[in-house]
Chains A and B, each alone.
Chain A
Amino acid sequence: MSKQAILRRALPGAGAALPRQSESAFILVWRDPLGRAGLCGVALIALMAICAPVIARYGVAEMHPKAKLTAPGLTFFFGSDNFGRDVFSRIVYGARVSLIVGIVSVGIAAGLGYLLGILAGFFEGKCESIIMMAMDIIFAFPSILLALFIVSALGPNIINTMIAIGIVNVPVFTRTVRASVKSVKSMDYIKNAISIGLTPRGVLLRHVTPNVLAPFTVQATLALSGAILTEASMSFLGLGIQPPQPSWGSMLSDARKYMEIAPWLVIFPALFIILTILSFNVLGDSLRDVLDPKLKL
């Protein structure tokens, strides 16, 4: 009898609520109303970013000198800025920038974090001490400050912003993976795998990695919202994405001078930043409840 069947038999009342093993995380997230909302929000932002050239009515740098600071209407859905640029088009292209920065920087952090976490957790000893000491050093900086610091050294542009945010996020992934590897390593099946002569590489790829994936995926989803937030903060301070590339953070920062006479310049970028981060957080929460119920808040 399978584990699921035993559970269903032991808890007949809760049988309907028990997830079947064949059910994917996607379906389980979709069943949760909050998870569904988060998934829809993320899908909408992603769709907006992918279809930006189709959705946007004007180019990001296209100016309309006769239509500066025009209020939202049929010509400019979200109004126009002090250069006469369409705020809606810039928001749409801004979604693309935010998502690319988020995905690439989390990719950098996850890749490096996975490698270092596996090394530290599996091989232990001096290797672990050195890696964890390096992670403690990075962790001792407030993240936004370290990201600003790195980007000022490398020069503010989109690539360096992604590298900076990636480096800042490495310790979180390293710690997550290390902790999972350490707990998996003491299991009997790993000891068995080593005793039958499987190479460390084989053990890591075939047995350890699949067991680390759940907390890793949850961490990646939550880190995405953090990365998007850091990018927006850096651009707000003028050290992130540089003009004419649109970024919600820099749009918000530039708009502050005109917010008395053109409040739409502030309202729309702020709303999109909040909605995007909210969507990723809600999705991350739901994914955590599904994949890693021990951490449920």
Chain B
Amino acid sequence: MRDYILRRLLMLIPILLGISVCVFTIMQLVPGNVVNGILGIEQTPELRAIWEKKLGLDQPPLIQYFRWMGNVLRGDFGESFRTGAQVFPEIISRFTITAELALLSCLTSLIIAIPLGIVSALKRNRPVDKVVRVAALMGVSMPSFASATLIILFLSKAFGYFTPVKYVSLIQNPGTNLEIMILPALILGTTMAGSVMRMTRSSILEVMRQDFIKAVRAKGAPERITIFRHALKNGCIPIITLVGMQMGGLLGGTVVIEQIFSIPGLGQYVLTGISQRDYPVVQGCVLFIAFIYVIINLFVDIIYTYVDPRIQYA
């Protein structure tokens, strides 16, 4: 197992290098120059040259790339061209916000999806199954930004709700933080629940057909034990895979919801970086998100072995 994890971590190196080259190349294609944005109409050729030298933009792209990568390997993601603040600490602080939102959304999704998926599978082709399947399809097809806008409209008309103007962190005030996070998490969670529900239903249906379930039932085990200890445990591998992929996707995918609810997460940081042509911010964030994404995939692979001991990595 330790060898497998090590091998997987080693395999990350070419992927992350490829990602860094991709990110850097795309940023070089971005039209306009950050110096234009910083100096505005007051720029002179001299001032421009000073700023380009200061930001390292006077060097050829290859030198810029190696300089950036060298610093990244030492844990230095550079400074924001706009604010001058260190990028890495800012990424970490914003990542905690996005991770909190992603975890809450996943939790919401699992709470809704697993029981409904099981009920749907057990009551196959009955009215309750049909209702759950249509609800799941609605969930899959409901873009979070569209449902968020409609829900905000409804809540504001019915209860005078307004999206929070200022973000409060979990450490500052857990109660207020949850008040801010609960609605976006519910919206994202409901959207995610659709596909998890469908996957749970199909996995449970698949497992319930197998002989060992008949053997468990023949032994006289109660239905609750049959479902939760045997069927769900054996059918949860695809569900874990899906949730893992969704978690990874949420790290950058919450950008729209963060924008709607004014949550200062990683997505909003990237978006600001993109619109302001702030290379270090965008490069750092995208590289970080891709890294976390592949780590989540590795983590999911490791979880498999705990859920199903038959899975062994040589």
**Residues in A lying within 8 Å of B, measured CB to CB:** 133-134, 136-138, 140-145, 148-150, 152-155, 225, 229, 232-233, 236-237, 239, 249, 252, 255-256, 259-260, 263, 266-267, 269-270, 273-274, 277-278, 281-282, 285, 296-297
Q: Which of A236, A249, A255, A281 contacts B141 (CB 8 A)?
A: A281
Question: How many residues of B are in contact with the other chain, CB < 8 A?
Answer: 51
Are B198 and A145 in contact, CB atoms less than 8 angstroms apart? Answer: no
Task: From known contacts A233-B143, A236-B256, A259-B153, infer whether A142 and B251 are also in contact, taking CB-CB under 8 Å.
Answer: yes
Contact B293 A142 (CB under 8 A): yes
**In whole Å, how far is B10's beta carbon from the nearest beta carbon of chain A?**
14
> With the chains together, A22 CA to B270 CA distance in Å?
52
Which of A140, A267, A273 is the most central at the interface, judged by chain B CB atoms within 10 Å of its CB? A140
**Can you list 7 A-B pairs with a CB-CB distance of less than 8 A?**
A137-B15, A145-B255, A145-B289, A148-B271, A154-B29, A259-B149, A282-B137
- Contact in complex: A237, B251 (CB < 8 Å): no
State A133–B14 Cα separation when bound (angstroms).
Answer: 9
Q: In the complex, which residues 270-314 of chain B have their Cβ closer than 8 Å to any Cβ of chain A? A: 270-271, 274-275, 282, 286, 289-290, 293-294
The residue that A270 contacts in the complex, of B14, B149, B202, B274, with Cβ under 8 A, is B149
Contacts of A267 in B (CB 8 A): 150, 153
Q: List CB contacts (< 8 Å) of B115-161 with chain A.
A: 137-138, 140-143, 145-147, 149-150, 152-153, 156-157
Chain B neighbourhood of A297, CB < 8 A: 198-199, 201-202
Q: Which residues of A contact B198 (CB under 8 A)?
A: 297
Alpha-carbon separation in the docked complex, A255 to B18 (Å):
40
Let me know if B157 and A263 touch, CB within 8 A.
yes
The minimal Cβ–Cβ distance linking B258 to chain A, given in whole angstroms, is 10
Counting CB contacts under 8 A, is B265 at the interface?
Answer: no
Task: Name the B residues within 8 Å of A274 (CB-CB).
Answer: 141-143, 146-147
B145 touches A236 (CB 8 A): yes
| Contact A150 to B26, CB < 8 A, known contacts A270-B150, A281-B137 | yes
Given contacts A140-B293, A259-B149, A267-B153, contact A153 B27 (CB under 8 A): yes
Chain B residues in 8 Å Cβ range of A296: 202
Query: Does B111 make an interface contact (CB < 8 A)?
Result: no
Least Cβ–Cβ distance between B9 and chain A, in angstroms: 15
Out of A142, A263, A270, name the residue touching B146 (CB < 8 Å): A270
**What residues of A have a CB within 8 angstroms of the CB of B250 in the complex?**
142
- B150 touching A142 by the CB < 8 A rule? no
Q: A267-B150, A274-B142, A296-B202 are in contact. Are A142 and B289 (CB under 8 A)?
A: yes
Chain A CB within 10 A, most for which of B26, B143, B152, B198: B143
With CB as the reference atom, state the residue of chain A lying closest to B162.
A260
| Pairs A-B, 10 closest by C-beta atoms | A142-B252, A145-B252, A278-B141, A153-B29, A270-B146, A137-B18, A140-B290, A152-B274, A277-B141, A297-B202
Q: Are A266 and B149 in contact (CB under 8 A)?
A: yes
- Decide if B177 is an interface residue (CB 8 Å cutoff): no
Is the Cβ of A252 less than 8 Å from the Cβ of B149?
yes
| B22–A155 touching, CB < 8 Å | no
CB distance from B297 to the nearest CB of A (A): 9
A134 adjacent to B149 (CB under 8 Å): no
Given contacts A149-B286, A252-B149, 8 further A-B contacts (CB under 8 A): A136-B15, A140-B294, A141-B252, A149-B26, A237-B256, A239-B275, A263-B157, A278-B137
The answer to whether B248 has its CB under 8 Å from any CB of chain A is yes
Cβ contacts B225-263/A at 8 Å (1 or 0 each): 000000000000000000000001111110110011000
Collect the chain B residues with CB atoms within 8 Å of residue A142's CB: 248-253, 289, 293
**Interface flag for B75 (CB, 8 Å):** no
- Cβ–Cβ contact B143 & A229, under 8 A: yes
- Residues of A within 8 Å of B138, CB to CB, are 278
Residues of A contacting B31 in the complex (Cβ-Cβ under 8 angstroms): 153, 155
Q: Separation in Å of the A146 CB from the closest CB of chain B?
A: 8
**Interface residue B189 (Cβ < 8 Å from any Cβ of A):** no
Across the two chains, which residue of chain A brings its CB closest to B154? A263
Q: Give B141's nearest chain A residue, CB to CB.
A: A278
B267 contacts partner chain A, Cβ-Cβ < 8 Å? yes
CA distance A278 to B31 in the complex (A): 36
In the assembled complex, the Cα of A151 lies from the Cα of B199 at a distance in Å of 33
| In the complex, chain A residues whose CB is within 8 Å of the CB of B256 | 144, 233, 236-237
Check B30 against A153 for contact (C-beta < 8 Å).
yes
Does B19 touch A at the CB level, under 8 Å? yes
- Which residues of B (49-79) have their CB < 8 Å from a CB of A? none
Smallest beta-carbon distance A71→chain B, Å? 15
- B202 touching A144, Cβ below 8 Å: no
A273 contacts across to B, CB distance below 8 A = 143, 146
Per the bound structure, the CA–CA distance linking A260 and B158 in Å amounts to 11
Assess A141 versus B26: contact at CB under 8 Å? Given A233-B143, A266-B153. Answer: no
In this complex, what residue of B is CB-closest to A38?
B137
Q: Which chain A residues lie closer than 8 Å to B290 at the CB level? A: 140-141
Contact residue among B145, B153, B199 (Cβ-Cβ distance under 8 Å from A233): B145
